[in-house]
Chain A
Amino acid sequence: AQSVTQPDIHITVSEGASLELRCNYSYGATPYLFWYVQSPGQGLQLLLKYFSGDTLVQGIKGFEAEFKRSQSSFNLRKPSVHWSDAAEYFCAVGAGRLTGGGNKLTFGTGTQLKVEL
């Protein structure tokens, strides 16, 4: 069974500082990987996704993530955080590679990001 671990429950960074949110997954093959962001009272917005190919993927709002197979990680990064980035971030894994898509997503517990002005 697939699983996702987000070891940091809360992270606080200063506006303009760089950010890295950690995500480790457990899956028997190379999974499909996703990062979503949830603002208070809002739904989940897709930030970026990895399926194959280049291990560094670019997303919306200036975010990027790097897939590292050897570390089973898919960490999210942003070079300069803005106050509007304060939200909860979820890493998710899908099993689609084996079945051609159409699978549930398994989510981590989320990391709450606070941005200090």
Chain B
Amino acid sequence: DSGVTQTPKHLITATGQRVTLRCSPRSGDLSVYWYQQSLDQGLQFLIHYYNGEERAKGNILERFSAQQFPDLHSELNLSSLELGDSALYFCASSARDGTDTQYFGPGTRLTVL
């Protein structure tokens, strides 16, 4: 158990819908990262938040957005869903220790029908 929690574990929805994925980092970690894992794209970095502020963006679609709240949990919002958005979405957290060591949650499997 990494200490990072993600809910829900599974999500099935229809095209055009909007969903919210939730992540709670390890106790004391200020950074939250979101990654998408799909068969065709592999593991791709989406976005990084540090203590409530966006720090970096990767290959994140405009239909996707994220935020980190004062209690440090983060939410990834996916809207106007398409079949191709079906994937495993991971969040990870890291300590402020000068390294890039990231601890991953169990992931949310999103299926868009």
Contacts and interface: CB of A to CB of B under 8 A. Distances in A.
A49 B101 CA distance: 8
B106 A43 contact: yes
Given A90-B43, A101-B94, A104-B58, A44 B100 contact: no
Contacts of A109: 42
Size category of the binding interface on chain A: 20 to 34
Contacts, number: 70
Nearest to A110: B42
Interface stretch (B14-22, B48-56, B63-71, B72-80): B48-56
Nearest to B48: A104
A42 B55 CA distance: 27
Interface residues of B, number: 27
Interface in A82-97: 90, 94-96
Interface of A: 32, 34, 36, 42-46, 49, 51, 90, 94-96, 100-110
Interface of B: 2, 4, 31, 33, 42-43, 45, 48, 50, 55-56, 58, 90, 92, 94, 96-107
Task: List the 10 shortest-distance A-B pairs measured between CB atoms, nearest first.
Answer: A94-B100, A107-B43, A104-B45, A44-B104, A96-B100, A43-B106, A101-B98, A43-B104, A32-B100, A101-B99
